[in-house]
Homo-oligomer: A and B are copies of this chain.
Amino acid sequence: MQEFKNGTYWILISDHLPELSVAGAFVQDPSCGAVNIFSGMTRNHHDGKSVTGLYYDCYEEMALKESKKLLDAITKEHNLTKALLFHKTGDAPVGEISLITALSAPHRKPVLEATEELINRLKQELPIWKKESYKGESLWKEEQLLKKEQQPS
A31: chain B residues at CB < 8 Å are 43-45
Cα–Cα distance between A28 and B30 once the two chains are bound (Å): 29
Q: How many copies does the complex hold?
A: 2
A42 within 8 A of B: yes
- A3-56: which residues lie under 8 A (CB-CB) from chain B? 19-21, 24, 28, 30-45
Interface of A, helix, strand, loop or mixed by DSSP: mixed
Residues of B within 8 A of A116 (CB): 112
Which residue of the partner chain, among B24, B37, B41, B106, contacts A33 with CB atoms under 8 Å? B41
Asked whether any CB of chain B lies closer than 8 Å to the CB of A139, the reply is no
| Residues of chain A at interface, number, CB under 8 A | 30
CB distance from A35 to the nearest CB of B (A): 5
Indicate if the CB atoms of A20 and B37 lie closer than 8 Å.
yes
Q: Is the CB of A119 within 8 A of B108?
A: yes
List chain B residues, Cβ under 8 A from A39: 24, 34-37
Any chain B CB within 8 A of the CB of A75? no
Q: Does A62 contact B (CB under 8 A)?
A: no
